[in-house]
Amino acid sequence: MRVDPFYIVNLSNSLDQTQVAQEQLSNELSSGLRISQIGQDPVAAAQNVELLNQINRDDSFTQTASLTKGILQVTDSALGSVVTQLNQAISLATEADNGTLNTSDLKSVSNQIAGIRDEVLSLANTNYQGVYLFGGSHTGATPFTVDNATMPPTVTYNGDQDVNTIVSPNGQSIQLNLPGDQIFTAPGMSVIDALNNLVVDFANGSSGSGIPDTSALNAALTYVSQQRVKIDNSITRLTDASSAITGESMQLTQAQTNLMQADIADVSTQLSLTQSQQTALMDVIAGLGQGSLFDKLVP
Amino acid sequence: MGTINSAMSLISAALEADQAALNITSNNVANASNQSYTREVPNWQENQPIYLNGIAYSTGVTVTGGVSQRDRVLEQRLQQQQQLSSASSSLRSALTTLQGNFAPANGTSASGDIGTGITNFFNAYSQLESNPTSNPLRQQILSSATTLAADISGKAGSLDAQKSALDQSVNTIVMQVNALSVSLAEVNKQIQSLSPGQDAGTLEDQRQSDMSQLSQLIGVNQIMTESSGLSITTSGGQLLVSEGSAFQITTANVSGLTQLLLNGTDITTQLDSGGGQIGGLLTARDQSIPNTLASLDQLAYGMSTSVNAANNAGTDLDGDNGNAGNIFNAPMQVAGTALAMSVVMTDPNKIAAAGLGQGAGDNSNALTAASLATQAIINGQTPSDYFSNMVSTLGALVSQTTTENMALAASVTQLQTQRNALSSVNLDEEASNLEEFQRSYQAASQVFTIMNSIMASALNLGVETAVA
């Protein structure tokens, strides 16, 4: 049976292949990546695209959430101040209603309530980083303008009823704002109207007419607190969504790392095996390429 | 009648035969490292005996020449495998370059990665939801749109450049094929005129060597014709070489790509699946790359048209209601969108975050635009899913070609080994043959010496003087 005299060529091809394998494994070790080309593992490469997309979206939401929380907290804090002011107005009005105050005291109460009304209007026009919080979608213009020519002053709402929401990666919708006319000048529950009426009631120095308006103010205060709850809910839901998304992002990052990272121990073992194979091949090639029968022939 | 003279001429013929055999052996040894050489074995032929009065008198031996130890069928099989193997190799090489454009991202901030670009773009809209009038956030949308457009058009440009490079290679190979066809036609002529009925030895070696080179370049079929001629056609049936004539492949430039013509017929599509380096290069140039480009075009088209439509369905900061303008340049058709993708909007105020008829602080259109990320806007898939599928399809193709390539290379090696086992020069064998023929020559010359002295005796008729 004849043998291929050029079999050494095949051995040196094998040697080439071990060098290629060695280079690939060394690259894996130095970059830490199991897959540097999509052809090495197409399924993993495709999964990698999806995982990174999700992780990226989650991380972006976490950023947005913290900015949004800031806006919501400012809104909440403004409403909190409004509640404080209204409580003070109610306490003043109640005192005035019990008939113990004299005319000048009543006038004083009227002025203080007027001051509270102005403060509430100022809070209604809260501006956070260039954006008016209570104007609906008209965030660039002052929501409430006052015309002092009339008595009581005419308050005009310049905004609209638009409500913004943001959507979390899980599909949760979270309300971001409360239109001003739904809090401060709600039909039948108008805080401004109630305050204005009390100002007029006590300006004339008479006390009895303040009682129904004081009840109206109480009702308006309750209403404002109810509206405030919506914002508090949004803050809670945003915080919860944010931590759920952060948790998801961490899990997905772990999954992506496991998918793409090289198993260092495994790669090192393979590399060492390849090196032994290479040494063995070189020894064989060196040993086998020696001479032929011609060396033995005596001329 | 056996005479001294006839014995002497018999032995001198033997000496010639031995010399011829030694010659053949030396030629084998001289060509021992020549991989395209086929070893020759001396053909010993006993001469016809002479019949006189019913008695047969032998007339010795002649070496009629060397017989090349060649298996035509094996060589043909080897050449066919070489065609398949080279096609696969050159395709694999092109695909390796192609896949380099879509290397897996190793984190969420990989630059140049299309998947990252898509996600960052939609994220910019999500962030705008919380503060629709913010100028920095609007700028962010435009800058991430620019990055995405640059990524996509950059990859498309890369693919186009690769196509041109492959095209160049095709031209180079065509020149080599044409040169080989001419050489083969020459050898054909020589073989047909010099040794029409039998193996042509060295000339046949050259023809087989040329065929082997040709097989690596282009897919061909070969047919033996009468008087040892070889007819070569492309695998699609077009004649390349016939008897002493070679037909040249010509090239024509059609829409920036080289088309190949032979005998007036456009053979480019045939060659595509035909084998050889040309087959692999043409497959990459005309199928693999255009398919990937088409996918990129779909992606660019879907993104551009959907995002532009969304922007024109809302209100921007300038109060434009329903005609705020396009963010990306509007494509006329799908083909070519990827290369031409760019951002045409320069004013961030033109981004329509608010819904139709709403004030500037409304974010409903920003919500709509952001939600495009999870809608089937690219051929029935979300942008991320589409890109992910594109990656896995291309990766699978590369993987499959690599596996095929390894298998084909192994089969070529196996056939090569078989062929070498039969046809290559084994130095040990030649050495022992040399010994054998040398001894045979020595024996014949010894016989000659003895016959010579017998002749001398005969001449002297018993007197041991004068002629020695």
Residue B321, strand partner residues? B315
Q: Which of B243-247, B263-267, B290-294, B426-430 has the highest mean pLDDT?
A: B290-294
From the CA atom positions of chain A, what is the Rg in Å? 39
Q: Residue A259 is encoded by which pair of tokens? A: 């998918």
CA atoms within 13 A on the CB side of B349: 4
Q: Chain A: residue nearest B33 by CA?
A: A6
Q: What is the DSSP string of B290-308?
A: HHHHHHHHHHHHHHHHHHH
Percent of chain B with pLDDT over 90: 76
Centroid of chain to Cα B239: 20
Cβ under 8 Å to A: B residues 120-149? 120, 122-123, 126-127, 129-133
Cβ under 8 Å to B: A residues 65-84? 67-68, 71
Distance (Å, whole) CA B403 – CA A46: 20
- The full 3-state SS of A34-94, as one line of letters, equals CCCCHHHCHHHHHHHHHHHHHHHHHHHHHHHHHHHHHHHHHHHHHHHHHHHHHHHHHHHHH
Cβ under 8 Å to B: A residues 211-250? none
Residue B421, amino acid: A
Contact B363 A48 (CB under 8 A): no
Interface test with B, best of A47, A73, A164, A294 (most B CBs within 10 A): A164
Task: Using alpha carbons, list the distances in angstroms from residue B118 to B121, B149, B329.
Answer: 5, 10, 17
Task: Report whether pLDDT(B158) > 90.
Answer: yes
Q: Chain A: residue nearest B425 by CA?
A: A5
Which pLDDT belongs to residue B65?
87
Q: Residue B173 is encoded by which pair of tokens? A: 């190979």
Which uninterrupted H or E stretch holds A174?
A: strand A173-175
Q: Residue B112 is encoded by which pair of tokens? A: 């140049």
pLDDT tens-digit series, residues B396-450: 999 999 999 999 999 999 999 999 999 999 999 999 999 999 999 999 999 999 9
Task: Using alpha carbons, list the distances in angstroms from residue A247 to A99, A173, A240, B107, B374.
Answer: 61, 19, 11, 18, 21
Average pLDDT of the residues in B283-307: 96
Q: Chain B: residue nearest A292 by CA?
A: B428
Distance (Å, whole) CA A82 – CA A116: 9
Task: Report whether pLDDT(B92) > 90.
Answer: yes
Write the CB contacts of B218 (distance below 8 Å, at least 6 apart in sequence): B83, B173, B177, B234, B271, B274, B275, B276, B277, B278, B279
Which pLDDT belongs to residue A207?
62
CA-based nearest residue to B369, from B127, B160, B9, B109:
B127
Confidence of residue B247 (pLDDT cuts 50, 70, 90): very high
How many CB atoms are closer than 10 A to CB A230?
Answer: 17
Confidence of residue B463 (pLDDT cuts 50, 70, 90): low
Average pLDDT of the residues in B126-142: 94
Task: Report whether pLDDT(B1) > 60.
Answer: no
A10, A45, A136: residue with CB nearest B395: A45
Task: Using alpha carbons, list the distances in angstroms from residue B287 to A23, A250, B273, B371.
Answer: 31, 41, 11, 34
Confidence of residue B389 (pLDDT cuts 50, 70, 90): very high
CB A202 within 8 A of CB A216: no
Is the ipTM above a cut-off of 0.95? no
Distance (Å, whole) CA A237 – CA B200: 91
B116, B360, B399: residue with CB nearest A137: B360
Q: Residue A235 is encoded by which pair of tokens? A: 């803050």
From the CA atom positions of chain B, what is the Rg in Å? 38
Domains of chain A: 73-255 (1.20.1330.10)
Which ranges in B195-346 belong to alpha helices (H)?
A: 202-217, 268-272, 276-283, 289-311, 337-340
Which pLDDT belongs to residue B2?
66
Mean pLDDT of the residues in chain B: 92
Which pLDDT belongs to residue A294?
83
Average pLDDT of the residues in B33-42: 92
Contact A48 B399 (CB under 8 A): no
Contact B362 A39 (CB under 8 A): no
Which ranges in B105-134 belong to alpha helices (H)?
A: 114-130
Distance (Å, whole) CA A64 – CA A246: 12
Using a CB-CB cut-off of 8 Å, the residues of chain B touching A53 are: 115, 118-119, 384
Residue B244, amino acid: G
Task: Report whether pLDDT(B198) > 90.
Answer: no
User: What does each of the 299 residues of chain A score in pLDDT, given as a tens digit?
Assistant: 788 888 888 888 889 989 989 998 998 998 888 998 999 999 999 999 999 999 999 999 999 999 999 999 999 999 999 999 999 999 999 988 888 888 888 889 999 999 999 999 999 999 998 999 999 999 999 999 999 888 778 899 999 999 999 988 888 899 999 999 999 999 888 999 999 989 888 887 766 778 889 999 999 999 999 999 999 999 999 999 999 999 999 999 999 999 999 899 999 999 999 999 999 999 988 888 677 888 888 76
Kindly report the pTM of this predicted structure. Answer: 0.90
